[in-house]
Every structure is written in structure tokens, then in C-alpha cells.
Amino acid sequence: MNAPRATRSTIGLTSARLTFLALGLFAWSSGVPADESTLRLVPGPQLATLEANCSGCHSLDYVQMNSRFLGRAGWEAEIKKMVGVMGAPVSAADQQALLDYLVREYGVAD
């Protein structure tokens, strides 16, 4: 007895569907800028440092989203991850300024 041959109906994904899926994933990941026109972060001397160092890689709404969860240790770990793991080119002085700002304006008690 012969083994059944794979057909389009048994595989479920045709080459056209795979192409469409691949194009969709590419478009999604290709750096479409977020509309941050309504985003308002707390003003302060380090806000410019945050905008200069963080917005090139991700939306600044992450600050507000994570503010419910992160205290000093959490924000410090996030900054270290962005620099050490993700390769963000942030100077030591800017890292400290970012930590101070994030803890003061968006930190929760540890």
C-alpha cells in the first residue's frame, strides 16, 4: 500500500499563503513608526535624555506601560538589558540619568 501524498488540502498552507504570510511579517517588522503624537511623558531635565536614547529603538509608550510594574531594581534591570543585551549605545552618565528619571516619575515602591 502506498503512503498518502501531501496535497494542498492536507498541508493547509499553499505557497501563495506562505508568501502572503511572509510579506505580512516583513511589513509588520519593518519599523513602521508608532504614532506618539498623543503620548505625554512627565517633563523634566532627563526627558530629553530618554527621548534621545530610547526612541530610536522602540516606542516611548513602553515607559508608561511598564510604570505599573517596575521599581528601582526593575528599571535598572531594563536599562542594563537594553545596553548589555540589545546593544543600545547609552553612556554610563545617560544610564544614570535615565534611571533617576524613570524611578522618580514612573517607579513603584520596591
Does 58 map to a domain? yes
Half-sphere exposure of 58 (CA within 13 A, CB side): 9
Residue 17: the pLDDT is: 67
C-alpha cell at 90: 547609552
Given a cut of 70, whether residue 71 has pLDDT beyond it is yes
Does 52 map to a domain? yes
- List helix spans (H) across the chain: 8-11, 15-29, 47-54, 61-66, 72-80, 92-106
**Among positive and negative, which fits the CA dihedral 81, 84, 90, 96?**
positive
Does 38 map to a domain? no
Does 7 map to a domain? no
Domain span at residue 83 reads 47-106
Does 36 map to a domain? no
pLDDT digits (tens, 9 = 90+) for 7-33: 555 555 676 666 655 655 555 554 545
Distance, in Å, from the CA atom of 107 to the CA atom of 73, rounded to the nearest integer, reads 10
Residue 102: the pLDDT is: 96
Q: What is the CATH number of the domain that holds 92?
A: 1.10.760.10
Does 14 map to a domain? no
Number of structural domains in the chain:
1
Does 85 map to a domain? yes
- pTM for the model stands at 0.65
Does 75 map to a domain? yes
Residue 91 pLDDT grade (very low, low, confident, very high; cuts 50, 70, 90): very high
The label of the residue with cell 520596591 reads: 110
